[in-house]
Amino acid sequence: MSTLHTVNKSSFTHSTLKSCISVCANNDGILLLEDGVFSALQSAPDAEALITLNEKGVVIYASQDDIKARGLEHKIASHIQLTNYEGFVSLTLYHKCIQSWY
Protein backbone atom coordinates (compact mmCIF):
# COMPACT_ATOMS: atom_id res chain seq x y z
CA MET A 1 0.00 0.00 0.00
CA SER A 2 1.15 3.49 -0.70
CA THR A 3 0.07 7.09 -0.33
CA LEU A 4 -0.42 9.93 -2.80
CA HIS A 5 0.66 13.23 -1.30
CA THR A 6 -0.82 16.39 -2.80
CA VAL A 7 0.88 19.70 -1.99
CA ASN A 8 -0.72 23.03 -2.92
CA LYS A 9 1.67 25.51 -1.29
CA SER A 10 4.79 27.10 -2.75
CA SER A 11 7.98 25.96 -1.04
CA PHE A 12 9.32 29.50 -1.47
CA THR A 13 6.88 30.61 1.25
CA HIS A 14 5.78 27.51 3.17
CA SER A 15 7.40 24.47 4.77
CA THR A 16 4.47 22.29 3.67
CA LEU A 17 6.47 20.39 1.03
CA LYS A 18 9.34 19.89 3.47
CA SER A 19 6.94 18.22 5.92
CA CYS A 20 5.56 16.03 3.15
CA ILE A 21 9.05 14.98 2.07
CA SER A 22 9.99 14.07 5.65
CA VAL A 23 7.36 11.32 5.85
CA CYS A 24 7.18 10.24 2.20
CA ALA A 25 7.78 6.50 1.71
CA ASN A 26 9.78 5.20 -1.27
CA ASN A 27 6.72 3.82 -3.07
CA ASP A 28 4.59 6.93 -2.48
CA GLY A 29 3.88 9.63 -5.05
CA ILE A 30 3.82 13.42 -4.77
CA LEU A 31 1.54 15.64 -6.83
CA LEU A 32 2.22 19.39 -6.89
CA LEU A 33 -0.98 21.38 -7.37
CA GLU A 34 -2.05 25.02 -7.47
CA ASP A 35 0.75 27.14 -5.90
CA GLY A 36 2.49 23.85 -5.12
CA VAL A 37 3.74 23.86 -8.71
CA PHE A 38 6.24 26.61 -7.86
CA SER A 39 8.11 23.84 -6.04
CA ALA A 40 8.68 22.21 -9.43
CA LEU A 41 11.13 24.97 -10.39
CA GLN A 42 14.82 24.08 -10.46
CA SER A 43 15.46 27.03 -8.19
CA ALA A 44 12.87 26.01 -5.57
CA PRO A 45 13.83 25.29 -1.96
CA ASP A 46 13.72 21.51 -1.42
CA ALA A 47 14.47 20.90 -5.14
CA GLU A 48 17.47 18.79 -4.09
CA ALA A 49 15.36 16.81 -1.62
CA LEU A 50 12.83 16.10 -4.38
CA ILE A 51 15.61 14.79 -6.63
CA THR A 52 16.84 12.53 -3.83
CA LEU A 53 13.31 11.19 -3.28
CA ASN A 54 12.90 10.69 -7.00
CA GLU A 55 16.08 8.61 -7.11
CA LYS A 56 14.64 6.42 -4.35
CA GLY A 57 11.57 5.71 -6.46
CA VAL A 58 9.09 8.45 -5.58
CA VAL A 59 7.58 9.94 -8.73
CA ILE A 60 7.02 13.69 -8.52
CA TYR A 61 4.08 14.93 -10.57
CA ALA A 62 2.89 18.47 -11.20
CA SER A 63 -0.44 19.70 -12.54
CA GLN A 64 0.06 20.69 -16.17
CA ASP A 65 -2.76 23.24 -16.14
CA ASP A 66 -1.40 24.91 -13.01
CA ILE A 67 2.13 24.99 -14.51
CA LYS A 68 0.91 26.53 -17.78
CA ALA A 69 -1.38 29.00 -16.03
CA ARG A 70 1.60 30.39 -14.14
CA GLY A 71 3.92 30.56 -17.14
CA LEU A 72 6.28 27.93 -15.76
CA GLU A 73 6.23 25.45 -18.64
CA HIS A 74 9.86 25.99 -19.64
CA LYS A 75 11.23 26.46 -16.14
CA ILE A 76 10.48 23.20 -14.36
CA ALA A 77 13.08 20.65 -13.26
CA SER A 78 13.63 17.67 -15.57
CA HIS A 79 12.58 14.99 -13.08
CA ILE A 80 9.07 16.46 -12.69
CA GLN A 81 6.33 14.64 -14.60
CA LEU A 82 3.42 16.69 -15.85
CA THR A 83 -0.07 15.31 -15.41
CA ASN A 84 -3.67 16.33 -16.04
CA TYR A 85 -6.82 15.69 -14.00
CA GLU A 86 -7.28 12.28 -15.63
CA GLY A 87 -3.79 11.46 -14.40
CA PHE A 88 -4.64 12.79 -10.95
CA VAL A 89 -7.58 10.37 -10.73
CA SER A 90 -5.37 7.49 -11.88
CA LEU A 91 -2.84 8.37 -9.18
CA THR A 92 -5.54 8.23 -6.49
CA LEU A 93 -6.46 4.78 -7.74
CA TYR A 94 -2.87 3.53 -7.89
CA HIS A 95 -2.06 4.81 -4.39
CA LYS A 96 -4.60 3.88 -1.76
CA CYS A 97 -4.63 6.84 0.61
CA ILE A 98 -4.45 10.49 -0.27
CA GLN A 99 -2.86 12.98 2.15
CA SER A 100 -3.52 16.58 1.24
CA TRP A 101 -0.81 18.93 2.52
CA TYR A 102 -2.19 22.43 2.68
Partner 1 sequence: MIFSINVQSPPYSTQASYTAYRFCKAVLAQGHQVHRIFFYQDGIYCATRLAAPPQDELNLYDKWQNLAKENEIELVVCIAAALRRGILNLEESIRYQKDAHNLAEGFTLGGLGQLIEAAVNSDRMVTFGN
Partner 2 sequence: MQKKILLISRHAPYGSSTAKEALDAALAAAVYEQSLSLLFMDDGVFQLLKDQQAQQINQKNFSSILAALPFYDIENIYIHQESLKKRIIENKDLLIEHAAILTNEQISTLLNDQDHILSF
Binding string, 26-45, against partner 2, x = CB under 8 A? -xx-----------------
- 44-83 residues in contact with partner 2 (CB under 8 A) are none
Binding string, 50-79, against partner 1, x = CB under 8 A? -------------x-x--------------
Please state whether 27 falls in left (phi above 0), alpha (psi between -120 and 50) or beta.
alpha
Q: Which amino acid is at 98?
A: I
Chain Cα centroid distance, residue 2: 15
Question: Given candidates 68, 73, 89, 97, which one binds partner 2 under the rule CB under 8 A?
Answer: 97
Distance CA 53, CA 27 (A): 10
Among candidates 102, 96, 101, which has minimal Cα distance to 4? 96
25 touches, from partner 2, partner 1, none (C-beta below 5 to 8 Å by class): partner 2
Q: Which amino acid is at 35?
A: D
DSSP bridge pairs for 83: 63
Residues at the site binding partner 1, with contacts judged by CB under 8 A: 8, 33-35, 63, 65, 84-86, 88-90, 92-93, 96, 98, 100-102
